[in-house]
Amino acid sequence: MIDVKNFSCFDEPENPLITNASFTIHPRDRVCILSSHQERATILCHALAGTLKRTYPAHTSDGVITFREKSVFAIESHDRTEKIAYVPPNADLLISGVKETVFGEIALSLELAGMQPEQIREKVMAMLKKLDIEKLAGRDPDELSGGERHKIALASMIVREPAVLILDNPTMFLDVSGVKNLLTILRHYAGSIIIADPNPYAWASFASRFIVIQKNNVLFFDSPQDFIQAIDSEKIKCELPAWIELYRHVRQTLQSSDVPSTLTSRFYIRRIAGAIR
């Protein structure tokens, strides 16, 4: 569990990027972070992963972020990566470069964890199959395209099965098929998942919680229903990603049609997600 209490972050003393954020992420939560300023979403991701000070050394922060009642900033880096995995937009930078094959690259973290070779092979081959990249198993990672390297980096993080998986703009290098395969994996993922994506259509029907960053304020919604109600009541007033405007259009269209009024808000979210596929 990640517990955030009164967290604030500043790039300058008088310029808060995030102010007094407080929320709790429970095991198996699927959280979608929405912001019209992706940098603020990225900063929140790094804060949750415990890598904020290393990535933004000039930024200052207040408040407390704990994982299993221990500050994420106090967890040793080698322990943190086993518990909380942050995958950046340019995920291919996570490729170690010490392995000559894709199979070896994905297997590396499992080898370091002391897993038995038979189990490693089983887990890696299953991951390759799920991402539909089995044909790349024997290839040199350095010879792959940017999109292929991105998939390999994602696979190398997911195969470790950390308790919390944080994906920052994970669809940047993925085509429609790649997004679909990633969703298939994540739907069966045992840990918590936090996703910050400037194009969040793919996650509309996936998320169980929503975090909206409007200006420097962080709004946490405990369910899709609460999120929809906040939009309807105009509690969310900042400039939001385009899919919010698409939501408004879809809902207005549905309300003016013969669609039964008893439809749930999750239906509207799924309708939006389907509209862009």
CATH number of residue 181's parent domain? 3.40.50.300
Number of domains in the chain: 1
Work out the number of other CB atoms within 10 angstroms of the CB of residue 70: 12
Q: Is 73 exposed, middle or buried (0-12, 13-18, 19+ CB in 10 A)?
A: middle
- State the pLDDT at residue 92: 77
Determine the Cα–Cα distance for residues 4 and 72; give it in Å rounded to an integer: 10
Residues 6+ apart with CB under 8 A from 145: none
Work out the number of other CB atoms within 10 angstroms of the CB of residue 243: 20
Question: Greater confidence, 95 or 80?
Answer: 95
Domain membership of residue 88 as a residue range: 2-238
130 pLDDT more than 80: yes
pLDDT digits (tens, 9 = 90+) for 208-230: 899 999 888 999 988 877 887 78
Interaxial angle between packed helices 117-130 and 146-158, expressed in degrees from 0 to 180 and rounded to the nearest 10: 130
The chain-wide mean pLDDT, for the chain, equals 83
206 phi and psi angles, rounded to 5 deg? -100, -35
- pLDDT category of residue 18 using cuts at 50, 70 and 90: very high
271 pLDDT more than 80: no
276, HSE (Cβ side, Cα atoms, 13 Å): 19
For 79-83, 194-198, 269-273, which range has the lowest pLDDT when averaged over its residues?
269-273
70 pLDDT more than 60: yes
- State the pLDDT at residue 256: 58
For 33-37, 84-88, 186-190, 199-203, which range has the lowest pLDDT when averaged over its residues?
199-203
Report which listed range, 81-85, 213-217, 226-230, 273-277, is most confident: 213-217
Q: Is the Cβ–Cβ distance between 120 and 111 less than 8 Å?
A: yes
260 pLDDT more than 70: no
Residue 82 lies in a domain: yes
Average pLDDT of the residues in 239-258: 57
pLDDT digits (tens, 9 = 90+) for 155-183: 888 888 899 999 998 888 888 888 888 88
Residue 254 lies in a domain: no
Residue 269 lies in a domain: no
112 pLDDT more than 60: yes
Residue 276 lies in a domain: no
Work out the number of other CB atoms within 10 angstroms of the CB of residue 139: 17
Residues 6+ apart with CB under 8 A from 188: none
Work out the number of other CB atoms within 10 angstroms of the CB of residue 74: 10
pTM exceeding 0.85: no
Work out the number of other CB atoms within 10 angstroms of the CB of residue 12: 10
Determine the Cα–Cα distance for residues 113 and 111; give it in Å rounded to an integer: 5
68 pLDDT more than 50: yes
Among candidates 184, 150, 155, which has minimal Cα distance to 169?
150
